[in-house]
Structure 1
Amino acid sequence: MIIFWRSLALIIVVGLAVTGCSSMKPYMESPQYDEASKRFQHPAGYRNDKGFFDLLGLAGAFFTREKDPAERDGFPLRDPAAQPPATDGTDVTWIGHASLLFRHGGVSVLTDPVFSERASPFRFSGPKRVVPAAYTPESLPHVDIIVISHAHYDHLDMPSLRRLAVEQPDIRVIVPLGLAHYVRRAGFTDVTEIDWWQTDQRDGVDVTATPVRHWASRTPFDRNRTLWAGFMITFRDGYRFYFAGDTGYSADFTATRERLGAPDFAAIPIGAYEPRDFMRESHCTPEEAVQIFRDLDAGSAVAVHWGTFKLTLEPLAEPPVRLRAALAEAGIAERRFRALTHGERWNLGQSGN
């Protein structure tokens, strides 16, 4: 608990400094931007009425919890280099948490790249990996495109971006409104901000930001000053890959399918959902992830956002168990929506959809 209070104090100090010197421009042209509060918002609102002392209570429960066995023992890790790439050129490798390397038609897409030991602004405190990242920025194969879903530390990690920019500085990076200055500060120059339903079109690959039910912050004082998003990536041959980022359940996924078409492949989060009264607005359960899969009418999907960092109170190993049960209940073959081993590469030509 002493570490928790020290970390909280440091977050407040850092937050005041960052907020005080921030020159974030307003985004009055965005339908998601509320000029009165100078914050982005979801059209359905955010129905979480928990206050500061509720959050302290949750933090206390987290730091005094019985240790999860997976925090000690971790999970298996496969070496991506030991697995052959897909013969048809379409595969996905789970690096860990929300980080994926997806490849189709000679184009490689990296999602929410986080390679650091902790998902935190501090090296000494915060959620720590229970499994090493399957790649390092130095061992990562060629990347053409990076998409970053939002500002939270388990999705936007500045040390990882800095290391990536040293290795591959010419990557095309697409982010929601308000995040470009972080990515440029890390060393990338080809950076594009887009709003929900806007598309960055280039070299035969269209990247469209889509609405999801979440929120964003990096300090206690900048909540929703930047936008959050999922992404639909459409390749030259019409193949569609959808990355949900981080989200609670909402009607957004039906709207995405109706507006952009059903994805051939999707990455859908299944973890960080307990306690439910805190998390239902921003993190879906495995059962809700299956409903998202159905709303999107996805050909196949991979589960992300589980088993890497201990972020919430459910056991780390629980999400894929509940996912398999939910798929069985819905009559969906497990081979269509898989929870991979860390580092596992899935040849999507063998997805069986």
Structure 2
Amino acid sequence: MKRFANLDNVTSYKSFKDLRKWQKERRAKVKDLSVNIEQCPTKQQRELKENRSLTSYTWVGHSTFLIQLNGQNILTDPVWAKRMGFDKRLTEPGISLADLPEIDLVVISHGHYDHLDFPTLKKLKGNPHYFVPVGLKSLFMRKGYHKVTELSWWDSIEHGGITLHFVPAQHWTRRSLRDMNTSHWGGWIFQTPNKETFYFVGDTGYFSGFKQIAERFMIDTVFMPIGAFEPEWFMAPAHISPEDSVKAFIELGAKFFVPMHYGAYRLADDTGPEALERLYREWENQKLPEEQLKVLLHGETVMGNK
């Protein structure tokens, strides 16, 4: 059975001893869990349902975005699950499943449950085509999904006038005891005919791949993870810190930074507000323009590539 690996042979493997050490640390920490990322007070569900011409993106929560490009409705890592493991979701999704437009295509970054939730997929409107990392198609077929295309790193494909590119990330994956790294992981880049370019990073640690991606693409907007990084001695190979996410943004030469992967599920010791605070601090430290940072509330939409 094929097992996939990261660039530079970086491994995310942690021992049972490491896990016990983390659990002990976690019990000793005091965190304020009463403050969550807020819902946007002015949501645009009606406009999103009717929109087939303007570019838009809406943060649903965690790594889930509704992106509207070239008349296509795209979902990234659709997860509306109310629980993740033993923990309840911290906030409601920014858009309810009932308020979504019909979906044309879905991209999956990797097979972890907080990024691939089949109960959510069953409820999507429309008949979307699924684009997945190499190794995941067989699982989709067993679940009854047949409009599925799997890609390897640096593969490209056209769909509905949009060119999709599957690019590297530094992570790992597992859904059961026996399938460790039997499918790949990565990010997705969307390019429209008029050269709008959006990069959905997926789940990743900081890695050399950002420089490689920058050599191949001119990125307009990057959807960048910032959460689930603490403790960093445990998480760093697989989850990028807010400081390193800014470093990656600078290396990419992108125009706009949209943070994600925080505030919906508590997957590590950091909280959503902590991740944002560190992001803002590093943004200021690097003297980056305020208008390039697009921090969204749950359900907030940016209409037009601004």
TM-score by length of 1: 0.80
Separation of aligned partners in 2, 1:314 and 1:96: 16
Within 2, Cα distance between the matches of 1:61 and 1:219? 26
| Secondary structure of the corresponding residue to residue 120 of structure 2 | helix
1:192 lines up with 2:149 in the alignment = yes
Letter in 2 for 1:145: L
Give yes or no for contact 2:84–2:114 (8 Å, CA) kept in 1.
Answer: yes
Aligned to 1:308: 264
Residues 282-328 of structure 1: per-residue CA shift (max 9 Å, x gap)? 11111111111112111212100011111111233111111111111
Q: How far did 1:181 drift?
A: 2.9
Give the one of 271, 291, 300 matched to 1:344.
300
Q: Which contiguous aligned blocks of 4+ residues in structure 1 show a shift greater than 4 angstroms? A: 82-88
Q: 1:39 — aligned with what?
A: 3
Does residue 1:334 correspond to 2:294, yes or no?
no
- Counterpart residue number, 2:102: 142
User: Pick from 71, 79, 82: which aligns with 1:114?
Assistant: 79
Distance 1:217 1:341 in 2: 30
Structure 1 residues 104-183: aligned runs within 5 Å:
104-120=69-85, 125=86, 127-164=87-124, 167-168=125-126, 170-183=127-140
Structure 2 residues not aligned, in runs of 5+? none
- Cα offset, 1:220, TM superposition: 3.8
Distance 2:143 2:98 in 1: 16
Change (3 A) 1:299 1:88: farther
Percent sequence identity is: 32
Mapped partners of 2:38, 2:157: distance in 1? 37
Matched-pair contact (CA < 8 Å) for 1:162–1:186: no
Q: Where does the alignment leave 5 or more consecutive residues of structure 1 unmatched? A: 1-25, 27-37
- Worse-superposed segment, 73-82 or 292-301: 73-82
2:166 matches 1:202: no
Verify: 1:266 aligned to 2:222, yes or no: yes
Shift of 1:65: 5.5
- Mean alpha-carbon deviation: is it higher for 94-103 or for 325-334? 325-334
Equivalent residue runs for 1:16-95 within 5 Å = 26=1, 38-48=2-12, 50-62=14-26, 64=27, 68-70=31-33, 72-78=34-40, 80-81=43-44, 84=47, 89-95=54-60
Partners in 1 of 2:22 and 2:254 — Cα distance?
35
> Larger C-alpha radius of gyration, 1 or 2?
1
TM-score by length of 2: 0.91
Instruction: Kindly indicate whether the alpha-carbon contact (under 8 Å) linking 1:161 and 1:186 is maintained by their aligned counterparts in 2.
Output: no
**Partner Cα separation in structure 1 for residue 193 and residue 145 of structure 2:** 25
RMSD: 2.2
Question: 2: distance between equivalents of 1:336 and 1:83?
Answer: 27
State the alpha-carbon separation in 1 of the partners of residues 36 and 229 from structure 2: 19
For 2:9, what is the secondary structure of its paired residue? coil
Name the aligned partner's letter for residue 155 of structure 1: H
SS at match of 2:140: helix
Larger RCO (CA within 8 A; separation ≥ 6): 2
Alignment partners' CA distance in 1, 2:110 and 2:14 = 22
